[in-house]
Amino acid sequence: MHDALIGLLERRAPVGRETWRSFWDELGDGGLDRAQALALLVSLTTALPGPGTLRGLLDSLAERRPAEPAGRWAGTVNVVGTGGGPKTFNISTASAFVAAAAGVRVVKTGSRAYTSSLGSVDLLERLGVRLTSSYDQTAGTLDRFGIAFAGPFVYPAQLTRLARTIAPTSMKPFGRFLNALGPFLADLPVTAQITGVSAAAPLTELRALAATVTGRTLWLTTNDRGADELLGFADNTIHTNDGRELRFPAGELVPAGGGFDDLLPVTDPADAPAHFLSVLAGTAGEVATRTVCLNAAALSVASGHTPDWTKAVAVAEDAVRSGAARDLAERIRAAAPGTAARTRAASHG
């Protein structure tokens, strides 16, 4: 049994970068069998280890990614959630479009669904929005549209290797671990990152891990309703990586009316694109509009684009009601080859 697995099982001391590096080397060389790969995922999913082990794990994976561009993408914010909370439509994806339409530079990362019926990647695929395939392409898309949706290249190739090694077992049973650490695995050269943390995610461990992140602003958003988004009808807390807590009681930034029934996803995933576009147009209900604008405002404030929360909410609402958010989505979809038919279908949905 590899030393990384022994360390995870015994939990006596942190498993350091060198040990993790050896694990990935052996995995790549075919020296680790399916049983050990499964044991690793089961252990990490059952209970996340301490921040020292997690930091060593993340550092060992980060060093294997393609080299990032020199310097950070100034004023750019990444938004990604842990999932696992109450069922809602893709709020963070909608807030990314709205914030970008309001002038914020946004990169959205995410995955296919592990704990829900439609992850952000699944939705974007149905919309006909293409994911970027490199840092250069992401930067170019940012310059062109003010928003980019980063593809799998931002995630360590070792995750794909793990998935192949444990086949035919699916990665879906390990969604809790993948969702919890996913926001830390995609280390983009952004100024800020907002990660929504649901009640299903290990907040204590993630806060400790966030405290080790330097070089960018990192916010973990939580609320008393268990969602991984900010909610007008909930008491929200933002945990920052410099140790602060920003508290926003229900109704402080947007009206507190409504509930999760106003944020439900559509029953048929085929209807998701049309519903999503209606959210961006502000025709999916006031609670949906307020929720998306509240989260878009957080992106604006975290990135430094609009420091004042009240103004940030107002600017986001204008981006929705003016049609700018939906127009941005339509322009991005139209730029992707082969999506004209889907665009017309969703536009008339």
pTM for the whole structure: 0.91
Q: What pLDDT is attached to residue 97?
A: 98
Q: Which residue ranges form the domains of the chain, and what is each CATH number? A: 3-62 (1.20.970), 73-150+186-333 (3.40.1030.10)
The predicted pLDDT at position 187 comes to 75
Q: Is 226 exposed, middle or buried (0-12, 13-18, 19+ CB in 10 A)?
A: middle
Q: What DSSP string runs through 27-79? A: HHTT-S-HHHHHHHHHHHHHS---HHHHHHHHHHHHTTSPPPPSS-EEEEEEE
What is the structure's pLDDT at 338? 61
Name the packing angle between helices 340-347 and 120-127 (round to 10°). 100
Return the SS3 of 320: helix
Task: For 168-216, write each residue's pLDDT tens digit.
Answer: 998 888 877 888 888 888 878 999 999 999 998 889 989 998 998 888 9
> Residue 189 has which token pair?
């050269």
Query: Which are the contacts of 242, defined by CB distance < 8 A and separation ≥ 6?
Result: none
* pLDDT tens per residue across all 349 residues of the chain: 999 999 998 888 899 999 999 999 999 888 899 999 999 999 998 888 888 999 999 999 988 877 777 778 999 999 998 888 899 999 999 999 999 999 999 999 976 654 456 778 889 999 999 999 999 999 999 999 999 999 988 888 888 899 999 999 988 888 778 888 888 888 789 999 999 999 988 899 899 989 988 889 999 999 999 999 999 999 999 999 999 999 999 999 999 999 999 999 999 989 999 999 999 999 999 999 999 999 999 999 999 999 999 999 999 999 999 999 999 999 999 998 764 444 444 444 4
How far, in Å, CA of 184 to CA of 180, rounded? 8
pLDDT of residue 308: 97
Residues whose CB is less than 8 angstroms from the CB of residue 36 and which lie 6 or more positions away in sequence, other chains included = 1, 2, 5
pLDDT of residue 120: 85
Tokens 């405290």 -> residue: 211
Instruction: Check if the beta carbon of residue 299 is closer than 8 Å to that of residue 97.
Output: no
Residue 185 confidence (pLDDT): 84
Residue 109, both tokens:
């990362």
